Amino acid sequence: MSVFLAKAALRTIIGGLALAASVTLADAEDVAAPTNPPAAQGNASGSDAPAPDDVKQIKLTDDQVTRFIAAQADLAAIASKIQAAGDKPDPALQSELEGIAKKHGFKTFAELDDVAANISIVMAGLDTGTGNFVDPVDALKKEREEVEKDTTIPDADKKQLLDELNEAIGTTPRLQYKENVEIVKAHRAEIEKALQ
């Protein structure tokens, strides 16, 4: 595996977990912050991966996933505002996010974000070819083994890749609710289309 392919694979795994990395919002009342809102697709890196404690894992329902998909158009419309806000959205943006969440049947934006995070975990583990689920942590460990065995990667690049993979393994949560896999798989095409 070339260095380029190894890095691309790492970004794909981490990017899949994030679904839409690079934006993190925090509510002034310390409401659970989005770990990477789905509407703001962007570049992912190991440092953007959520820590296991940052993701509130929940059992997803078909209804939650459907409402999440429906919310994407509204979130995409304000993606530039979300990206510009960084970690600290102003009260007007926070109010707008809360309004979008409520419009789509969520009690708060934090609830919408919890659904997004749980969908992300499953999507990160779905094989693009077969559709089979592999826990993202296991996928990262397998990738680490492949990088360790690859003698064609220069030592400096290999060390960097292994450091990134080890960090990702340490910050990537394992899937708690296996039943989420079937719910997300049933909506996979709709989710992917909504996030384009």
Answer yes or no: is pLDDT of 41 > 80. no
Q: What is the pLDDT of residues 120-172, one digit of tens each?
A: 999 989 988 888 999 989 999 999 999 999 999 999 999 999 999 999 999 88
pLDDT of residue 58: 96
pTM: 0.69
Helix ranges (DSSP H) in the chain: 3-18, 62-77, 79-85, 91-103, 109-125, 136-149, 155-171, 179-186, 188-194
pLDDT of residue 88: 82
pLDDT of residue 123: 93
> Rounded CA gap, 31 and 28, in Å?
7
CA proximity to 126, closest of 48, 9, 18, 16: 16
The domain of 177 spans 3-32+44-194
Instruction: Grade residue 86 by pLDDT with cuts at 50, 70 and 90.
Output: confident
Query: How many structural domains does the chain have?
Result: 1
Quote the percentage of the chain above a pLDDT of 70.
72
Average pLDDT for 28-33: 29
Instruction: Grade residue 55 by pLDDT with cuts at 50, 70 and 90.
Output: confident
Choose between 178 and 42: higher pLDDT.
178
**37 within some domain:** no
Specify whether the CB–CB gap between 161 and 3 falls below 8 A: yes
**157 within some domain:** yes
Answer yes or no: is pLDDT of 25 > 90. no
Choose between 77 and 196: higher pLDDT.
77
pLDDT of residue 129: 86
> Is 190 exposed, middle or buried, given 0-12, 13-18 or 19+ CB atoms closer than 10 A?
middle
Q: What is the pLDDT of residues 59-71, one digit of tens each?
A: 999 999 999 999 9
Sorted by sequence, the CB contacts under 8 Å of residue 104 that are 6+ apart come out as 67, 68, 70, 71, 74, 112
**39 within some domain:** no
**78 within some domain:** yes
**96 within some domain:** yes
